[in-house]
Amino acid sequence: MLCDDGIKCAKCGKPLKPEQGRWVAAIPDRVLTFPGYHISQTIHPLHLIVDPVTGERQKWRDLMSKVNSYSKLKLFNEVFGWPYDESINPLTLKNLVEAQHDFDIQTVDDILKYQHLYRCFVIGVDWDGGGAVS
């Protein structure tokens, strides 16, 4: 929970001390292949620095200003480090190339040989409303 003076546990309301914490992977099985570091600015130690002269945390105030002024999409992506709009973006050729494997697949039986490696298969075709190109 974000507060003017820092972050607090949403359950008990006690202040959190992220500068003493560590990264905890949301999906531990992927740590070695895709660690997925999306570090929220709310737990970055830079925002917790107290100015020795004024005794204020200017960076935290700047962060709270972003919370109050950014659009939801920009706030989630840039401040919280959460992929807010990921599921609504169309796939690009680059996405497809990066996701491809070197499997030799010509038939359904070829696909079934790899079924144990995946939770599910999803195939989709978007004809763009016009059908096949003649």
Q: What is the pLDDT of residue 90?
A: 67
R_g of the chain computed on alpha carbons? 22
Q: Give the pLDDT confidence of 59-90 residue by residue, as tens digits.
A: 888 888 998 999 888 888 888 877 776 655 66
Residue 92 belongs to a domain: no
Instruction: Please give the Cα distance from 127 to 57 (Å, whole number).
Output: 54
Higher pLDDT, 17 or 102: 102
Residue 100 maps to a domain: no
pTM: 0.41
Residue numbers of the domain that contains 18: 2-87
Kindly state the average pLDDT of the residues 94-111. 80
> In this predicted structure, what is the pLDDT of residue 89?
65
Domain count, the chain: 1
Q: Provide the pLDDT for residue 130.
A: 55
Is the residue at 123 inside a domain?
A: no
